[in-house]
Amino acid sequence: MRLPNLITAIDVHACGEPGRVITGGVLDVPGESMFEKRLHFERHFDHIRKRMLREPRGYPGLCCNVIMPPTHPDADAGFIIMEQSEYPAMSGSNAICVTTALVESGMVPVTEPVTRLKLEAPAGLIEVEARVKNGKCESVSFENVPSFVAHLDAEIEVPTVGKVTVDVAFGGMWFVIADAQKLNLALEPDNAAEIARVGEMLRAAAAEQLPVTHPENPEIRNVSIAQLWAPASSPGAWIRNAVVISTGELDWNRPETWRGVLDRSPCGTGTCARMATLYARGELMLDEEFHHQGILETVFSGRLLRETSVGNQSAVVPVLTGSGWIYGLSQYVLDDSDPFPDGFTVADIWSRGI
């Protein structure tokens, strides 16, 4: 049997959200920073993202990461994050998956009970603390990039829904955040299809009506993900949330394309963005524990360490804690005669088919 274009990966999920970690078969790419490497990868190697995330090797809810040699002298490893419709500058669940894979595979030196790492994400250097017992990475905490609010209580017009009051905040990605109860949406797994439909419409409307740009990196712009929230259903959790990830461009004239997919975890960058909005309203203090419940009732814990600024924008520095679990060791190949080298999508579960 031939094994052409072999890619090796560790499959991990962080509180339910799958974040495949590519450990071999993808070469380093040029760039003086991980963000520059991310741009180069997007421009020249996007076929790898498509191959790994689309069918038959992927599905709409899957994320993927490529381990890269770091450019920062203090970093232990670098990684590029790949999602269905973008290359995020930062992702909390993916950072947890990457750390879990690095620690449990022995790709980095491991010290028990605490292993400290510095990972270089496209957004910058991330300080990570992994709690390890008998070789198992039991939890991951990391200091995220600064989070901040662009809009509080802004009003947007969403087709078939009407006027919706939203917040827009940055937690490593740009989020539009709305109260699910005001949209008559129950944040329950059985209601996932409707949550995903409305969330994707919110995202598209916010991207169009509330343009945003990161103050220090103009390449990080526009709302790309939606978060809906409601009261928590688990003891100890503050808020329940459902984050909707886009699976393709939405066509307002084709209702069948009004579809995203739910983040299965409580969403790491979404938790950080949410903490920034709560802090801006005086509802969350520095050093106060915040427990964020996801659609599967798993929880990420967060805390705001200090105030800072990003350009002329007031911001806060969050720390996030969650857990990841390895569920597979995989090898993927591409036969030269495969008619779908970039994978494929079909509109029964994707926003559009190709």
Convert the pLDDT of each residue in 60-77 to its tens digit. 999 999 999 999 999 999
Q: How confident is the model at residue 5 (pLDDT cuts 50, 70, 90)?
A: confident
pTM across the whole model: 0.95
Q: For 286-313, write each residue's pLDDT tens digit.
A: 999 999 999 999 999 999 999 999 999 9
Q: CB-based contacts of 324: which residues, under 8 Å, 6+ apart?
A: 12, 13, 14, 15, 19, 96, 97, 99, 100, 101, 137, 140
What are the backbone angles phi and psi of residue 71, rounded to the nearest 5°?
A: -100, -20
Q: Residue 2 has what pLDDT?
A: 65
Q: Which positions are annotated as active-site residues? A: 91
Taking domain 7-143+325-332, whether its CATH number is 3.40.50.920 is answered by no
Residues 204-239: tens digit of each pLDDT: 999 999 999 999 999 999 999 999 999 998 888 999
pLDDT of residue 29: 97
Residue 78 predicted with pLDDT over 90: yes
CATH of domain 148-321: 3.10.310.10
Residue 325 pLDDT level (bands cut at 50, 70, 90): very high
Domain boundaries, the chain: 7-143+325-332, 148-321
- % of the chain at pLDDT higher than 90: 89
Residue 350 has pLDDT above 90, yes or no: no
Q: In 3D, which of 139, 97, 150, 136 has the Cα closest to residue 119? A: 97
Using pLDDT thresholds of 50, 70 and 90, give the confidence band for residue 354.
low
DSSP state of 146: P
CATH topology match: 7-143+325-332 vs 148-321: yes
